[in-house]
Amino acid sequence: MPAGVSGAGEVAKKTLSFGKGVLHLTVMVNGTPAHAYIHVEDSATHRGVYESSVFGYDTPLDIDLSAGKVDVVIRPDGRDMPEQRVNGVEILAGKTTDQVISIEVKAAASITADANGMEQDTDRPGGGDFRHVVPTADDPALCQQACQADVQCKAWTYVKPNTVQGAQPNCWLKTGIPPAMYNTCCVSGVKR
């Protein structure tokens, strides 16, 4: 007899439940909830099951996920800080799983600009990025010049190629002057 059929002509019905749970994710930078790029993948298959926009989301954030183990990958500020990974977070059906990822970022104590006004190995994340420029060459002076030429620009960050933002260099012009942080990915500066 086929499975699920009894000799009396009855059909046995079984229901499979693919339960969902909630991941309540908080990314903390220096003790404060932060904006972050978020990627969640199945721990066993490494298949992506959730991804924020490239610009990230404010946390805390609730994410509906299927029950099981997931790996959570975050990058605070959506782009400029190193990514962090937490493996094997257990999502339980019908439950909320709290996950806090804390990161301490030390402000660079003695970052000074060189004679050309460039802060080597320095990132200035945030600060009201208002314009993204893709420089025509691997030269932070092009980013500095773009800032000098734009009346809105108060600070800039040049992201070196083949670091945190892919193979090409990137330039971010800012309306504010965010704090300087040591990071070998970048060269930054303040408009003179």
And the tokens for 18?
């693919």
62-71, 110-119, 180-189: segment of lowest average pLDDT = 110-119
What ranges do the domains of the chain cover? 20-103, 119-190
The per-residue pLDDT for 148 is: 96
CATH architecture of 20-103: Sandwich (2.60)
- HSE-up of 104 (CA within 13 Å, CB side)? 1
- Which pLDDT tens digit goes with each residue over 74-91? 888 744 567 788 999 999
- Round to whole Å and give the CA distance between 168 and 128: 22
39-48, 72-81, 150-159: segment of lowest average pLDDT = 72-81
pTM: 0.50
CATH number listed for the domain at residues 119-190: 3.50.4.10
Q: Which residues of 28-54 are buried (b: 16+ CB within 10 A; e: fewer)?
A: bbeeeebbbbbbbbeeeeeeebeebee
- Which pLDDT tens digit goes with each residue over 139-154? 999 999 999 999 999 9
What is the DSSP track for 91-106? E-TT-EEEEEEEE--P
